[in-house]
Structure 1
Amino acid sequence: MTAIPRSALILGLAGVVPFVWGAATILAPGLFDWGLATFGPRFVGPYVQLFYGAVILSFMSGVLWGFATKAEGSRAATGYALSTLPALWAFFTTGGGEMRAALNLMIGFLALLLLDAAFVRWGLAPRWWLPLRLLLTGLVVACLAVIPLA
């Protein structure tokens, strides 16, 4: 297995911070109150997690699109088509209330792992990509799971 580049790992973990913050403000009412007073309602509790989760799934569509540019012919067309799925999933499934949106985001992030694995298997993503995505997805899904449990 190829080691995850340090910069990719650090930036990936930094990208998980809003999920951790959202979960922390759900679990600690005092932190929620402080965050609400300091940052406003969009940046605490499930609101920050759900909005940011939809943004990140859309971002991941762009990452996969970039990987698809390495392919040619029908593999490229397949890669481009598959790369749109995370953003479409986020767009169409994050309504309907906090619990439903959180569950759909968790499904979206877990399904994204299947796409990540396919892109690695096709040689379009680096070998270290899947270990990084497994780590980050585990953290994100754990944080999102706090919403239905709260």
Structure 2
Amino acid sequence: MRNVPTTALLLGLAGLIPFVWGALTYLNPGLANWGASALGPRFVGPYIQLAYGAVILSFMSGVLWGFASKTSGARAAIGYILSVIPALWAFFMTGGGPVSAGTNLIFGFAGLLLLDMAFASWGLAPRWWMPLRLLLTAVVIACLAVGVFL
């Protein structure tokens, strides 16, 4: 993690807050009650995780699109096609209730990590990208698993 730019690391870690908060409020009913009354019911438990998770998968589609723009020809075309998958996954797979949507988000973030690996192996992502993505994805999946498996 030493090679990850400080700003990217801090913003990446800050981006985990809704996932961690959702897991904590799922596990602690008192915190969930406080959060629901102070912030609103959609900002606690799996609800914040699901809404934010769909946003982040869509955001990451844009990041991958940016990586694809660093190349040309067939590789660029493949990169652009692959880059829209996380957003489409979020759009089509996050309905059907919190357990189903949470499970689909877990698969979405795992799939995104595979796409990150592909773009990194093609030399389109910075060298520090994969260590950061591995950390962030592990935390996201662990937090989503709280709502899915507990």
TM-score interval, normalised by the smaller of the two chains = over 0.9
Alpha-carbon distance between aligned partners in 2 of 1:72 and 1:54, rounded to the nearest angstrom = 29
Q: Unaligned stretches of 5+ in structure 2?
A: none
1:103 maps to a residue whose letter is: T
Residues 49 and 144 in structure 1, CA contact (< 8 A), matched pair in contact too: yes
How far apart are 1:149 and its partner, in Å?
2.5
Structure-1 residue corresponding to 2:55: 55
Alpha-carbon distance between aligned partners in 2 of 1:36 and 1:20, rounded to the nearest angstrom = 16
1:136 maps to a residue whose letter is: L
The two structures have a TM-score, normalised by structure 2, of: 0.97
Residue 143 in structure 1 maps to residue 139 in structure 2: no
Structure-1 residue corresponding to 2:14: 14
Alpha-carbon distance between aligned partners in 1 of 2:24 and 2:116, rounded to the nearest angstrom = 28
Structure-1 residue corresponding to 2:75: 75
2:133 maps to a residue whose letter is: R
1:149 maps to a residue whose letter is: F
What aligned pairs does 1:37-56 form with structure 2 within 5 A after superposition? 37-56=37-56
Structure-2 residue corresponding to 1:123: 123
1:131 maps to a residue whose letter is: P
What aligned pairs does 1:92-131 form with structure 2 within 5 A after superposition? 92-131=92-131
The two structures have a TM-score, normalised by structure 1, of: 0.97
Structure-1 residue corresponding to 2:87: 87
CA deviations on 1:41-90 (whole Å, 9 max, x unpaired) are: 11011100000000000000000001111010111111000000000011
Residues 57 and 108 in structure 1, CA contact (< 8 A), matched pair in contact too: yes
1:42 maps to a residue whose letter is: R
How far apart are 1:21 and its partner, in Å?
0.4
Report how many aligned residue pairs link the two structures. Answer: 150
Alpha-carbon distance between aligned partners in 2 of 1:3 and 1:107, rounded to the nearest angstrom = 28
**Identity %, equivalent residues:** 68
Alpha-carbon distance between aligned partners in 2 of 1:59 and 1:140, rounded to the nearest angstrom = 15
CA deviations on 1:20-52 (whole Å, 9 max, x unpaired) are: 000000000000000000000110111000000
C-alpha RMSD of matched pairs (Å): 1.1
